[in-house]
A = this chain, B = another copy of it.
Amino acid sequence: MTITTKEFATFLKKKGFIYPSSEIYGGVSGLYDYGHLGTLLKHNFEQQWRNFFLKLNDNFYEIETANIMHKNVFKASGHIDNFIDPIAHCSKCEFFERADHLIEDNTRERAEGLSPEELKGLITKNNITCPKCKSEIGEVSILNMMFPLQMGATTTNTSYLRPETAQSPYVNFKLQFELLRKKLPLGLALIGRAYRNEISPRNLTLRQREFTQAELQIFFNPNKIKEHPDFNTIKNTKLRTLLIEDRKKGKVVERTAQELIKAGLPKFYIYHLAKIQEFYFDVLKVPKEKFRFYQLNDSEKAFYNKYHFDLEIELNEHGFTEMGGLHYRTDHDLKGHQKISNQKMEVLDESTGEKIIPHVLELSFGVDRHLYALLDISYDQDQDRGNTLLHLPNKFAPFFCAVFPLVKNKPEITEKAKSIYKEINSCYSCYYDETASVGRRYARADEIGVPFCITVDFDSLEDNSVTIRNRDSTEQQRIKISDLKNKLFELYFS
């Protein structure tokens, strides 16, 4: 089912999932709010992400940290010098746009990572003019994408809103290592906000100025990168990869983990590719053909990333879109922090007796992008039913179930329905609805992706049974009220 991003935005707002922030004031470009349903969906995503990634290893932990950080953090990470966007500026109408995006929109070629001179060259070569007033584009200039903040009453004490959550685990690493088990690999997960002064935020929550990241930073001994104790459990897993060499054909190739070793990737990296794919297939339930690992080439990836695959989902209108990445950041960050802070980042790997600065493998997920993707791939306009349908997985649906009395003017029925609702609501996200016809209520439940609707009818008063309706098949099953909780438990994990 293909709809435009604009139609999709209307749907998301109408249902209260996602809509522009500060909207009564015309909004602020690149900022979005989650309504009631969007918030439940976001919580479910975050919880499922934690459940999956924190359980990969007993030595993985979550931390939560301030969004504002010391300026030296970003001196060390390179953000003050390198976290810049090339800006194309129309001197006539004061229109601003990212120069690489302007080129990509006009030529359909990737232009990320090019220098201001190269970008200006491409603008001239392709005769690209201002999209607003068609005037000539001036020089390409540079803007740092971080938001500076003045702390206290002086104007010299600058801090920054973090542009990526990753730096928080890096500056916390040494302390956490000492406080926890002093063991490698150590994983520090963080779900939190990051802020980027994007010049041209767009496509709803796909490119925002404020967004939530769920990231796991794994600190490990680089001499062990060619091994992982559980590699054998995934060695035959087929991974959907688009390597640099596959680009010409533009086709995803399924390669086993074993085969990726031959392609030059180390086992420690491949193992986490496999686990990530498992998350997409088994937890997020993304259809296989809509997922791929996209390998970045040297000009696309950050210079400190030795291996970098984007995690991509195919979206309506947008095609395959970056959702996150698996980044082997080496010792770039810890070394940087050691240098600027004068704090030793070296630790002892007890298992080998080596003293090393750990390397970092970063598993990075854009939460807002995943929510967009989940809604996008779940969206379905069912012709037979005549209503929209969200095929959200059971563990992600804002409401797992709903309880309806067949009619609302029969107190025995509504009371029974309410007591069932109360009982179920203590275990599952659930709502009670008695307004309008039951058909209309099913349709409304479909539209917000409720997997199961439970209806109490006249027969329920006699046989103490209810009907459970399946969102996707519309099949209805009769079940004893006394068996309901067990049945829902079973369905939840189906």
Q: Which of B34, B89, B176 contacts A16 (CB 8 A)?
A: B176
Partner of A210, one of B34, B67, B197, B337: B67
Task: Give A33 to B165 CA distance when docked, in angstroms.
Answer: 13
Chain B residue, CB-CB nearest to A342: B24
Interface: A149 (CB within 8 A): yes
The CA of A197 and the CA of B150, in the complex, are separated in Å by 8
Produce 1/0 per residue, A138-178, CB < 8 A to B. Answer: 00000100010111111000010100000010011011100
Contact segment of A69-77, A297-305, A348-356, A456-464 = A69-77
Contact at A26–B70, with CB atoms within 8 Å? yes
Check A63–B209 contact: CB distance below 8 A: no
Give chain B nearest CB distance to A489 CB in angstroms.
13
The answer to whether A80 has its CB under 8 Å from any CB of chain B is: no
B68/A35 in contact, CB under 8 A: no
In Å, the complex CA distance between A72 and B22 comes to: 9
Question: Which of B22, B33, B209, B432 has a CB less than 8 Å from the CB of A64?
Answer: B33
Docked-complex contact B89 and A63, CB < 8 angstroms: no
- Residue interface mask A12-50, B partner, CB < 8 A = 1: 011110010111111111111111101110100000000
Determine whether the beta carbon of A151 is less than 8 Å from that of B29.
yes
Q: Which residues of B are found within 8 Å of A62, using beta-carbon distances?
A: 36, 39-40
8 A Cβ contacts from A164-204 to B: 168, 171-172, 174-176, 179-180, 193, 195, 197, 199
A179 contacts B35, CB within 8 Å?
Answer: yes
With both chains docked as a complex, state the minimum distance between the C-beta of A89 and any C-beta of chain B, in angstroms.
Answer: 7
Partner among B29, B65, B68, B343 whose Cβ is within 8 Å of the Cβ of A195: B68
A279 interface contact, C-beta 8 A: no
- Inter-subunit contact B23/A152 (CB<8 Å): no
**Smallest beta-carbon distance A10→chain B, Å:** 13
Is A96's beta carbon under 8 Å from chain B? yes
Compute how far the CA of A210 lies from the CA of B192 in the bound complex, rounded to whole angstroms. 13
CA distance A23 to B16 in the complex (A): 40
* Beta-carbon contact of B25 and A42 below 8 Å: no
Whether A387 is near chain B, meaning CB under 8 Å from some CB there, is: no
The answer to whether B23 touches A68, judged by C-beta atoms less than 8 angstroms apart, is no
The listed residue (B29, B39, B69, B161) touching A21 by CB distance below 8 A is B69
With contacts A34-B64, A58-B432, A63-B33 taken as known, whether A70 is within 8 angstroms of B151 at the C-beta atoms is no
Cross-chain contact A199 with B153 (CB below 8 angstroms): yes
Q: Are B180's CB and A68's CB within 8 A?
A: no
Contacts of A427-442 to chain B: CB distance below 8 A: 432
Which of B147, B151, B179 interacts with A209 by CB under 8 Å?
Answer: B151
Is A107 at the interface (CB under 8 A from chain B)?
no
Say yes or no: is A242 at the interface (Cβ < 8 Å to chain B): no
Q: How far is the CB of A126 from chain B (nearest CB, A)?
A: 22
A36 near B61: Cβ-Cβ < 8 Å: yes
User: Are A25 and B171 in contact (CB-based, < 8 A)?
Assistant: yes
Q: A21 CA to B153 CA in the complex, in Å?
A: 20
New A-B contacts (20) at CB < 8 Å, excluding given A23-B171, A149-B161, A161-B161:
A13-B175, A16-B176, A16-B179, A21-B66, A21-B70, A31-B69, A32-B66, A33-B63, A33-B64, A33-B65, A33-B168, A33-B172, A34-B64, A34-B65, A36-B176, A39-B63, A67-B193, A96-B152, A147-B150, A150-B197
